[in-house]
Amino acid sequence: MYCVRKVTDDLYYVGGDDRRLALFENIHPIPRGVSYNSYLLLDEKTVLVDTCDWAIGRQFIENVEHVLAGRPLDYLVINHVEPDHAATINEVVLRWPDVKIISTAKAFTFMKQFGLGEDSRAITVKEGDKQSFGRHEFAFVGAPMVHWPEAMVSFDTSNGVLFSADAFGTFGALGGRLFADEMDFARTELDDARRYYCNIVGKYGAQTQALLKKAAGLDIKMIAPLHGPVWRKDLSYFIDKYQKWSTYTPEDDGAVMIVYGSMYGGTESAAQYVAQQLAEKGVTDVVMYDVSSTHISTLIAESFRVSHIVLACVTYNFEIYPPMHSYLTDMKMLALQNRTFAVIYNGTWAPRAGDLLKSFCTEELKKSKLLDPQAHITSAADADDAEQLDAVVDAVISDIKG
Protein backbone atom coordinates (compact mmCIF):
# COMPACT_ATOMS: atom_id res chain seq x y z
CA MET A 1 0.00 0.00 0.00
CA TYR A 2 1.35 3.45 -0.85
CA CYS A 3 1.97 5.64 2.22
CA VAL A 4 2.56 9.24 1.22
CA ARG A 5 1.91 12.66 2.73
CA LYS A 6 1.44 16.03 1.10
CA VAL A 7 4.12 18.50 2.19
CA THR A 8 2.92 21.42 0.05
CA ASP A 9 0.50 21.63 -2.88
CA ASP A 10 2.91 19.93 -5.25
CA LEU A 11 5.49 18.35 -2.95
CA TYR A 12 4.98 14.88 -1.45
CA TYR A 13 6.72 12.86 1.22
CA VAL A 14 7.54 9.48 -0.33
CA GLY A 15 9.97 8.10 2.27
CA GLY A 16 9.23 5.53 4.92
CA ASP A 17 9.89 4.14 8.37
CA ASP A 18 12.33 1.40 9.31
CA ARG A 19 11.28 -0.27 12.57
CA ARG A 20 13.31 -3.42 12.07
CA LEU A 21 16.83 -2.01 12.17
CA ALA A 22 18.30 -2.48 15.64
CA LEU A 23 21.46 -0.38 15.27
CA PHE A 24 21.78 2.72 13.08
CA GLU A 25 25.16 2.61 11.31
CA ASN A 26 25.43 -0.73 13.15
CA ILE A 27 26.35 1.24 16.29
CA HIS A 28 23.49 3.31 17.68
CA PRO A 29 20.35 1.62 19.06
CA ILE A 30 17.12 2.93 17.54
CA PRO A 31 14.36 1.24 19.54
CA ARG A 32 11.88 3.81 18.18
CA GLY A 33 12.99 3.15 14.60
CA VAL A 34 14.11 5.72 12.05
CA SER A 35 12.63 7.31 8.95
CA TYR A 36 14.41 7.65 5.62
CA ASN A 37 12.89 10.72 4.03
CA SER A 38 12.48 11.34 0.33
CA TYR A 39 10.41 14.03 -1.36
CA LEU A 40 8.81 14.18 -4.79
CA LEU A 41 8.02 17.48 -6.52
CA LEU A 42 5.43 17.58 -9.29
CA ASP A 43 6.26 20.61 -11.39
CA GLU A 44 6.56 20.96 -15.17
CA LYS A 45 9.33 18.49 -14.51
CA THR A 46 9.13 15.82 -11.84
CA VAL A 47 11.89 15.90 -9.25
CA LEU A 48 12.73 13.28 -6.64
CA VAL A 49 14.83 14.60 -3.77
CA ASP A 50 17.06 11.83 -2.38
CA THR A 51 16.16 8.15 -2.20
CA CYS A 52 15.96 5.67 0.70
CA ASP A 53 17.71 2.79 2.38
CA TRP A 54 17.29 -0.65 0.80
CA ALA A 55 15.38 -1.77 3.87
CA ILE A 56 12.29 0.17 2.78
CA GLY A 57 12.93 0.01 -0.97
CA ARG A 58 9.63 -1.67 -1.83
CA GLN A 59 7.58 0.90 0.09
CA PHE A 60 9.60 3.77 -1.36
CA ILE A 61 9.17 2.70 -4.98
CA GLU A 62 5.45 2.12 -4.46
CA ASN A 63 5.17 5.63 -3.03
CA VAL A 64 7.02 7.22 -5.94
CA GLU A 65 4.97 5.31 -8.51
CA HIS A 66 1.73 6.36 -6.81
CA VAL A 67 2.58 10.08 -6.75
CA LEU A 68 3.96 10.09 -10.29
CA ALA A 69 0.74 8.41 -11.47
CA GLY A 70 2.28 7.46 -14.77
CA ARG A 71 4.36 10.58 -15.33
CA PRO A 72 8.05 10.01 -16.07
CA LEU A 73 10.65 10.95 -13.46
CA ASP A 74 12.80 13.72 -14.92
CA TYR A 75 15.28 14.53 -12.16
CA LEU A 76 16.75 12.96 -9.04
CA VAL A 77 18.50 15.38 -6.69
CA ILE A 78 21.00 13.63 -4.42
CA ASN A 79 21.94 15.78 -1.45
CA HIS A 80 23.83 13.03 0.40
CA VAL A 81 25.27 9.74 -0.84
CA GLU A 82 25.39 7.76 2.41
CA PRO A 83 23.56 4.50 1.63
CA ASP A 84 20.70 5.17 4.04
CA HIS A 85 19.63 7.75 1.45
CA ALA A 86 21.27 6.65 -1.77
CA ALA A 87 21.07 2.85 -1.79
CA THR A 88 18.03 2.79 -4.06
CA ILE A 89 19.40 5.09 -6.79
CA ASN A 90 19.92 2.15 -9.14
CA GLU A 91 16.38 0.96 -8.53
CA VAL A 92 15.09 4.43 -9.48
CA VAL A 93 17.26 4.47 -12.60
CA LEU A 94 16.00 1.01 -13.64
CA ARG A 95 12.38 2.10 -13.40
CA TRP A 96 12.79 5.60 -14.88
CA PRO A 97 15.71 5.21 -17.30
CA ASP A 98 15.59 8.80 -18.60
CA VAL A 99 16.10 10.34 -15.16
CA LYS A 100 18.95 12.85 -14.77
CA ILE A 101 20.81 12.90 -11.46
CA ILE A 102 21.77 16.26 -9.95
CA SER A 103 24.51 16.28 -7.32
CA THR A 104 28.00 17.49 -6.43
CA ALA A 105 31.20 16.31 -8.12
CA LYS A 106 32.33 14.55 -4.97
CA ALA A 107 28.94 12.88 -4.67
CA PHE A 108 29.31 11.40 -8.14
CA THR A 109 32.73 10.06 -7.14
CA PHE A 110 31.18 8.44 -4.07
CA MET A 111 28.28 7.06 -6.12
CA LYS A 112 30.80 5.31 -8.35
CA GLN A 113 32.54 3.88 -5.28
CA PHE A 114 29.19 2.52 -4.09
CA GLY A 115 28.26 1.24 -7.56
CA LEU A 116 25.43 3.76 -7.98
CA GLY A 117 24.31 5.88 -10.94
CA GLU A 118 26.16 6.45 -14.21
CA ASP A 119 28.11 9.38 -15.66
CA SER A 120 25.77 9.65 -18.65
CA ARG A 121 22.92 10.96 -16.52
CA ALA A 122 24.95 13.19 -14.17
CA ILE A 123 24.38 16.92 -13.83
CA THR A 124 27.12 18.26 -11.57
CA VAL A 125 26.29 21.30 -9.47
CA LYS A 126 28.28 23.42 -7.07
CA GLU A 127 27.62 26.10 -4.49
CA GLY A 128 25.36 28.81 -5.88
CA ASP A 129 24.17 26.90 -8.95
CA LYS A 130 20.46 26.96 -9.68
CA GLN A 131 18.13 24.71 -11.62
CA SER A 132 14.58 25.51 -12.69
CA PHE A 133 11.94 22.80 -12.94
CA GLY A 134 9.07 25.08 -14.00
CA ARG A 135 7.43 27.05 -11.20
CA HIS A 136 10.12 25.89 -8.79
CA GLU A 137 13.80 26.71 -8.80
CA PHE A 138 16.36 24.98 -6.60
CA ALA A 139 19.50 26.74 -5.38
CA PHE A 140 22.25 24.35 -4.31
CA VAL A 141 24.26 25.07 -1.19
CA GLY A 142 27.36 23.14 -0.15
CA ALA A 143 27.18 21.40 3.23
CA PRO A 144 30.53 19.59 3.42
CA MET A 145 30.92 17.32 6.47
CA VAL A 146 27.27 17.66 7.44
CA HIS A 147 27.68 14.81 7.53
CA TRP A 148 29.98 13.61 4.70
CA PRO A 149 32.19 15.77 2.47
CA GLU A 150 30.02 15.47 -0.63
CA ALA A 151 26.85 16.71 1.07
CA MET A 152 24.80 19.66 -0.13
CA VAL A 153 21.40 21.06 0.73
CA SER A 154 18.83 22.27 -1.80
CA PHE A 155 16.74 25.39 -1.31
CA ASP A 156 13.52 25.88 -3.24
CA THR A 157 13.60 29.64 -3.91
CA SER A 158 9.95 29.72 -4.91
CA ASN A 159 8.45 28.53 -1.59
CA GLY A 160 11.29 28.52 0.95
CA VAL A 161 11.57 24.76 1.45
CA LEU A 162 15.06 23.74 2.52
CA PHE A 163 15.94 20.12 1.79
CA SER A 164 18.50 19.93 4.55
CA ALA A 165 20.01 16.44 4.10
CA ASP A 166 21.23 15.03 7.43
CA ALA A 167 21.02 18.43 9.14
CA PHE A 168 17.96 18.78 11.38
CA GLY A 169 17.42 15.02 11.33
CA THR A 170 15.97 12.99 14.20
CA PHE A 171 15.95 9.31 15.15
CA GLY A 172 12.52 7.73 15.53
CA ALA A 173 9.98 6.43 13.05
CA LEU A 174 7.42 9.01 11.93
CA GLY A 175 4.52 6.63 12.46
CA GLY A 176 2.13 8.47 10.16
CA ARG A 177 2.98 11.92 11.44
CA LEU A 178 5.09 14.11 9.19
CA PHE A 179 5.39 17.58 10.69
CA ALA A 180 7.11 18.39 13.98
CA ASP A 181 3.98 20.31 15.01
CA GLU A 182 2.02 17.04 14.82
CA MET A 183 4.10 15.75 17.73
CA ASP A 184 4.93 16.84 21.24
CA PHE A 185 8.47 17.23 19.99
CA ALA A 186 10.13 18.43 23.18
CA ARG A 187 8.59 15.62 25.20
CA THR A 188 8.82 12.66 22.84
CA GLU A 189 11.41 13.47 20.16
CA LEU A 190 14.02 15.88 21.48
CA ASP A 191 16.15 13.26 23.24
CA ASP A 192 16.40 11.26 20.03
CA ALA A 193 17.04 14.40 17.98
CA ARG A 194 19.92 15.26 20.28
CA ARG A 195 21.23 11.69 20.25
CA TYR A 196 21.11 11.72 16.44
CA TYR A 197 22.93 15.04 16.05
CA CYS A 198 25.59 14.51 18.71
CA ASN A 199 26.57 11.02 17.64
CA ILE A 200 26.22 11.36 13.87
CA VAL A 201 27.20 14.96 13.14
CA GLY A 202 28.55 16.11 16.53
CA LYS A 203 32.21 16.01 15.51
CA TYR A 204 31.53 18.54 12.76
CA GLY A 205 30.40 21.51 14.81
CA ALA A 206 32.40 24.03 12.78
CA GLN A 207 30.97 22.72 9.52
CA THR A 208 27.45 22.75 10.95
CA GLN A 209 28.03 26.33 12.03
CA ALA A 210 29.13 27.19 8.48
CA LEU A 211 25.90 25.70 7.13
CA LEU A 212 23.78 27.55 9.72
CA LYS A 213 25.43 30.83 8.68
CA LYS A 214 24.57 30.16 5.03
CA ALA A 215 21.02 29.16 6.02
CA ALA A 216 20.61 32.42 7.93
CA GLY A 217 20.85 34.21 4.58
CA LEU A 218 17.93 32.24 3.13
CA ASP A 219 14.24 32.94 3.66
CA ILE A 220 13.50 29.46 4.97
CA LYS A 221 9.82 28.62 5.48
CA MET A 222 10.14 24.88 5.91
CA ILE A 223 12.94 22.43 6.73
CA ALA A 224 12.69 18.99 5.14
CA PRO A 225 15.47 16.74 6.49
CA LEU A 226 16.41 13.19 5.57
CA HIS A 227 15.37 11.72 8.94
CA GLY A 228 12.51 12.64 11.23
CA PRO A 229 9.84 15.30 11.00
CA VAL A 230 9.50 18.24 8.62
CA TRP A 231 9.56 21.67 10.29
CA ARG A 232 6.97 24.22 9.11
CA LYS A 233 6.35 26.06 12.42
CA ASP A 234 8.62 27.38 15.14
CA LEU A 235 11.77 26.70 13.12
CA SER A 236 13.79 28.83 15.51
CA TYR A 237 13.22 26.27 18.31
CA PHE A 238 15.17 23.59 16.48
CA ILE A 239 17.68 25.98 14.89
CA ASP A 240 18.49 27.21 18.39
CA LYS A 241 19.18 23.62 19.49
CA TYR A 242 21.52 23.23 16.53
CA GLN A 243 23.25 26.49 17.45
CA LYS A 244 23.95 25.15 20.92
CA TRP A 245 24.95 21.64 19.91
CA SER A 246 27.22 22.77 17.08
CA THR A 247 29.03 25.30 19.28
CA TYR A 248 29.32 22.75 22.12
CA THR A 249 27.38 25.13 24.35
CA PRO A 250 25.62 23.30 27.20
CA GLU A 251 21.94 23.06 26.35
CA ASP A 252 20.93 23.01 30.02
CA ASP A 253 23.24 25.20 32.04
CA GLY A 254 23.52 23.95 35.63
CA ALA A 255 22.56 20.37 34.74
CA VAL A 256 24.83 17.72 36.27
CA MET A 257 25.47 14.29 34.82
CA ILE A 258 27.13 11.68 37.00
CA VAL A 259 28.70 8.84 35.04
CA TYR A 260 30.02 6.02 37.18
CA GLY A 261 32.02 2.89 36.47
CA SER A 262 31.76 0.52 39.41
CA MET A 263 32.63 -3.18 39.77
CA TYR A 264 31.29 -4.08 43.22
CA GLY A 265 29.20 -1.06 44.12
CA GLY A 266 31.68 1.04 46.11
CA THR A 267 32.10 3.71 43.42
CA GLU A 268 28.39 3.57 42.64
CA SER A 269 27.63 4.26 46.29
CA ALA A 270 29.92 7.31 46.25
CA ALA A 271 28.24 8.53 43.06
CA GLN A 272 24.80 8.04 44.61
CA TYR A 273 25.84 10.03 47.69
CA VAL A 274 27.05 12.89 45.48
CA ALA A 275 23.80 12.83 43.47
CA GLN A 276 21.71 12.97 46.65
CA GLN A 277 23.73 15.82 48.09
CA LEU A 278 23.48 17.80 44.85
CA ALA A 279 19.71 17.33 44.83
CA GLU A 280 19.41 18.15 48.52
CA LYS A 281 21.37 21.34 48.00
CA GLY A 282 19.08 22.52 45.24
CA VAL A 283 20.48 21.27 41.93
CA THR A 284 17.29 20.44 40.06
CA ASP A 285 18.70 18.58 37.06
CA VAL A 286 20.89 15.69 38.21
CA VAL A 287 21.12 12.51 36.13
CA MET A 288 23.09 9.33 36.91
CA TYR A 289 24.30 6.75 34.42
CA ASP A 290 26.07 3.44 34.90
CA VAL A 291 28.74 3.54 32.20
CA SER A 292 28.64 -0.27 31.91
CA SER A 293 24.94 -0.53 31.13
CA THR A 294 24.13 2.73 29.34
CA HIS A 295 24.68 2.87 25.59
CA ILE A 296 27.48 5.21 24.71
CA SER A 297 25.24 7.17 22.31
CA THR A 298 23.03 8.13 25.26
CA LEU A 299 26.05 9.10 27.36
CA ILE A 300 27.32 11.29 24.53
CA ALA A 301 23.96 12.97 23.97
CA GLU A 302 23.62 13.74 27.67
CA SER A 303 27.19 15.06 27.73
CA PHE A 304 26.21 17.54 25.02
CA ARG A 305 23.14 18.54 27.05
CA VAL A 306 24.61 19.22 30.49
CA SER A 307 27.17 21.74 31.67
CA HIS A 308 28.78 19.66 34.45
CA ILE A 309 29.97 16.05 34.35
CA VAL A 310 31.05 14.07 37.42
CA LEU A 311 33.20 11.09 36.47
CA ALA A 312 33.31 8.38 39.14
CA CYS A 313 35.55 5.51 38.16
CA VAL A 314 37.51 2.52 39.35
CA THR A 315 41.04 1.63 38.29
CA TYR A 316 41.26 -1.48 36.11
CA ASN A 317 44.60 -3.08 35.14
CA PHE A 318 46.26 0.22 36.10
CA GLU A 319 44.07 2.05 33.59
CA ILE A 320 40.71 3.79 33.45
CA TYR A 321 37.86 1.24 33.67
CA PRO A 322 37.39 0.12 30.02
CA PRO A 323 33.71 1.17 29.57
CA MET A 324 34.59 4.61 30.98
CA HIS A 325 37.61 4.75 28.69
CA SER A 326 35.39 4.01 25.66
CA TYR A 327 32.99 6.77 26.67
CA LEU A 328 35.80 9.30 27.12
CA THR A 329 37.44 8.27 23.83
CA ASP A 330 34.14 8.75 22.01
CA MET A 331 33.66 12.11 23.70
CA LYS A 332 37.07 13.23 22.46
CA MET A 333 36.45 11.86 18.96
CA LEU A 334 33.22 13.85 18.78
CA ALA A 335 35.12 16.99 19.83
CA LEU A 336 32.98 17.72 22.88
CA GLN A 337 34.41 20.74 24.66
CA ASN A 338 33.50 23.56 27.01
CA ARG A 339 32.44 21.30 29.89
CA THR A 340 33.26 21.31 33.60
CA PHE A 341 34.33 18.04 35.19
CA ALA A 342 34.59 16.69 38.71
CA VAL A 343 36.39 13.43 39.42
CA ILE A 344 35.90 10.65 41.96
CA TYR A 345 38.36 7.80 41.55
CA ASN A 346 38.75 4.45 43.21
CA GLY A 347 41.59 1.98 43.54
CA THR A 348 42.13 -0.71 46.12
CA TRP A 349 45.91 -0.72 45.76
CA ALA A 350 46.96 1.54 42.85
CA PRO A 351 44.35 4.25 42.08
CA ARG A 352 45.87 5.28 38.78
CA ALA A 353 42.47 6.13 37.26
CA GLY A 354 42.67 9.40 39.21
CA ASP A 355 45.69 10.79 37.38
CA LEU A 356 44.46 9.49 34.05
CA LEU A 357 41.02 11.07 34.45
CA LYS A 358 42.53 14.34 35.57
CA SER A 359 44.83 14.53 32.57
CA PHE A 360 41.96 13.59 30.24
CA CYS A 361 39.82 16.45 31.52
CA THR A 362 42.59 19.03 31.35
CA GLU A 363 44.58 17.95 28.30
CA GLU A 364 42.37 15.97 25.94
CA LEU A 365 39.27 18.15 25.66
CA LYS A 366 39.31 21.75 24.47
CA LYS A 367 38.08 24.54 26.76
CA SER A 368 37.22 22.12 29.55
CA LYS A 369 37.78 22.60 33.24
CA LEU A 370 38.56 20.21 36.12
CA LEU A 371 37.20 21.17 39.51
CA ASP A 372 39.28 20.81 42.67
CA PRO A 373 39.37 18.83 44.81
CA GLN A 374 38.94 15.33 43.44
CA ALA A 375 37.80 12.54 45.73
CA HIS A 376 39.77 9.34 46.22
CA ILE A 377 37.82 6.28 47.35
CA THR A 378 39.73 3.27 48.58
CA SER A 379 37.69 0.16 47.74
CA ALA A 380 34.28 0.59 49.44
CA ALA A 381 33.01 4.12 50.08
CA ASP A 382 32.14 4.69 53.74
CA ALA A 383 31.25 7.46 56.15
CA ASP A 384 34.89 8.55 56.31
CA ASP A 385 34.61 9.53 52.64
CA ALA A 386 31.71 11.92 53.24
CA GLU A 387 33.97 14.92 53.79
CA GLN A 388 35.81 14.62 50.50
CA LEU A 389 32.62 13.79 48.58
CA ASP A 390 30.97 16.85 50.15
CA ALA A 391 33.91 18.89 48.89
CA VAL A 392 33.21 17.63 45.35
CA VAL A 393 29.52 18.54 45.72
CA ASP A 394 30.39 22.02 47.00
CA ALA A 395 32.83 22.59 44.15
CA VAL A 396 30.17 21.67 41.58
CA ILE A 397 27.52 23.88 43.18
CA SER A 398 29.91 26.76 43.58
CA ASP A 399 30.87 26.50 39.90
CA ILE A 400 27.23 26.37 38.79
CA LYS A 401 26.49 29.49 40.82
CA GLY A 402 29.54 31.13 39.24
The only residue of 5, 28, 195, 227 in contact with ligand FEO, by rule CB under 6 A = 227
Contacts of 253 (CB under 8 A, 6+ apart): 307, 400
| 305 binds ligand FEO per the rule CB under 6 A | no
Q: How many CB atoms lie within 10 A of CB 323?
A: 19
Q: Quick one: DSSP state of residue 303?
A: H
Which residues ranging from 368 to 387 are in contact with ligand FEO (CB under 6 A)?
Answer: none
Contact 274, 312 (CB under 8 A): yes
Least Å from the CB of residue 83 to ligand FEO: 8
The only residue of 147, 232, 305, 339 in contact with ligand FEO, by rule CB under 6 A = 147
| 50 binds ligand FEO per the rule CB under 6 A | no
User: Closest by alpha carbon to 74, among 104, 43, 53?
Assistant: 43
Contact 259, 252 (CB under 8 A): no
Least Å from the CB of residue 133 to ligand FEO: 24
Residue closer to ligand FEO (CB basis): 24 or 248: 24
Q: How many CB atoms lie within 10 A of CB 235?
A: 17
Strand pairing category for 161-165 and 222-225: parallel
d(CA 201, CA 367): 20
Q: How many CB atoms lie within 10 A of CB 251?
A: 17
d(CA 11, CA 39): 7
d(CA 98, CA 310): 58
Least Å from the CB of residue 165 to ligand FEO: 8
Contact 73, 99 (CB under 8 A): yes
Residue length of the chain: 402
Least Å from the CB of residue 80 to ligand FEO: 6
| 136 binds ligand FEO per the rule CB under 6 A | no
| 84 binds ligand FEO per the rule CB under 6 A | yes
| 55 binds ligand FEO per the rule CB under 6 A | no
| 82 binds ligand FEO per the rule CB under 6 A | yes
Buried b / exposed e over 113-137, threshold 16 CB at 10 Å, is eeebbeeeebeebeeeeebebeebe
Window of 43-51, 76-84, 156-164, 302-310 that interacts with ligand FEO by CB under 6 A: 76-84
3-state secondary structure of 132: strand
Number of residues that bind ligand FEO (CB under 6 A): 9
Rounded to 5, what percent of the chain is helix, strand, coil? 40, 25, 35
Backbone φ and ψ for 327, nearest 5 degrees, come out as -60, -45
Least Å from the CB of residue 45 to ligand FEO: 26
| 85 binds ligand FEO per the rule CB under 6 A | yes
Residue closer to ligand FEO (CB basis): 18 or 82: 82
Residue closer to ligand FEO (CB basis): 55 or 309: 55
Window of 64-72, 77-85, 122-130, 132-140 that interacts with ligand FEO by CB under 6 A: 77-85
- Site map (CB under 6 A) of ligand FEO, residues 7-46, x = contact: ----------------------------------------
The only residue of 18, 150, 166, 268 in contact with ligand FEO, by rule CB under 6 A = 166
Residue closer to ligand FEO (CB basis): 17 or 74: 17
Residue closer to ligand FEO (CB basis): 225 or 266: 225
Site residues, ligand FEO (CB under 6 A): 80, 82, 84-85, 147-148, 166, 226-227
